[in-house]
Amino acid sequence: MPSSVQVASTNLPSIELPTRNWQRWLFAALSLVLLAVIVHQLGRLDARQLIDSIPASPGFWLAFAGYYLALPVSEWLIYRRLWRLPAEGFRALLRKLVSNEVLLGYSGEASFYAWARRHAGLTSAPFGAIKDVSIASALAGNIVTLIMVAIAWMVLGKFHNGIEAQHIGLSVAVMLLISFAVALFRRKLFSLPAAQLRFILAVHLGRLAATTLLSGLLWHFALPEVAISSWVLLAALQLLVTRLPFLPNKDLVFASATLAIVARGSEIGRLIAIVASLILVTHLLVGVALVAADLIDEARA
């Protein structure tokens, strides 16, 4: 399908491919796998129980919408600058988000790469830009996580539910090692110019600050009586969980980890589980809409 995307100059090496059939097959295969997983996940949900548990606060839903859309919006801003990506590219970035969360980490990057090769009409290889954006996102996540862990460290002693300091220390050590390696080998790792990399890192840092604030607002609107120290600790834990690679459904993993901190059956644990379920349902519904749109596009092609 032709596209009106214009590409900014990026100094990336071009890749000449003898055929583009592989892009169509890869894109179709990823869509079918995504649809199969979505159908399986939807069949496991207890819709009635979830509906009965949903908070009614308008502030909760505004914060939820901002939290969910923060990543694709920030990436659209990035690729808008790199490739002059039009509004239609936002759908591909939503698919990238859903694939990473429902299927497997970095499967979304493969889907977005296939879309970029097929639809964006790139004159330079998109792999380098997608790689750089992913690395910068991980680096920004490490920076914000380290800051949040340092803030939360003062309140960790208030919880006596099996959190051991060496586990936190090991996670911090791994993040520091990865960040140091990225800084040391940046000339070999990155393909984009330094000015663009600084812009990408700044956008990711802003996005992470926004999502951390929005997650706190989510919980606050649902349980305004809970102490702010609890939300600080949980925000740090959430960021730590998101740093784990190749892990699907990170929000559900975060909900499970929360039960190790708060008393089982408490309102905090119940709220985290509700939010995780809502995010999963949103992923599934968005995924269904995206696959349906893909099928319509294929039928028209």
Cβ–Cβ under 8 Å, residues 204 and 136: yes
Any domain includes 289 = yes
171, pLDDT greater than 70: yes
**Per-residue confidence (pLDDT) for residue 192, from 0 to 100:** 93
Any domain includes 8 = no
**Per-residue confidence (pLDDT) for residue 230, from 0 to 100:** 76
CA 264 – CA 267 distance, rounded (Å): 9
Computed over every residue of the chain, the mean pLDDT equals 78
Give the model confidence (pLDDT) of 62-81 as tens digits: 999 999 999 999 999 999 99
The distance from CA 237 to its chain's CA centroid, rounded to whole angstroms, is 16
Most trustworthy range by pLDDT among 113-117, 168-172, 239-243: 113-117
Any domain includes 4 = no
DSSP string, 242-272: HTSTT-S-HHHHHHHHHTTTSPTT-HHHHHH
Any domain includes 15 = no
Cα angle for residues 203, 178, 162 (degrees, 5° grid) = 100
Give the model confidence (pLDDT) of 211-263 as tens digits: 988 988 888 898 888 877 778 778 877 877 777 655 566 666 677 667 666 65
Counting the structural domains of the chain, the total is: 1
Any domain includes 7 = no
Range of the domain at 267: 21-300
CA 260 – CA 20 distance, rounded (Å): 49
190, pLDDT greater than 90: yes
**Per-residue confidence (pLDDT) for residue 14, from 0 to 100:** 41
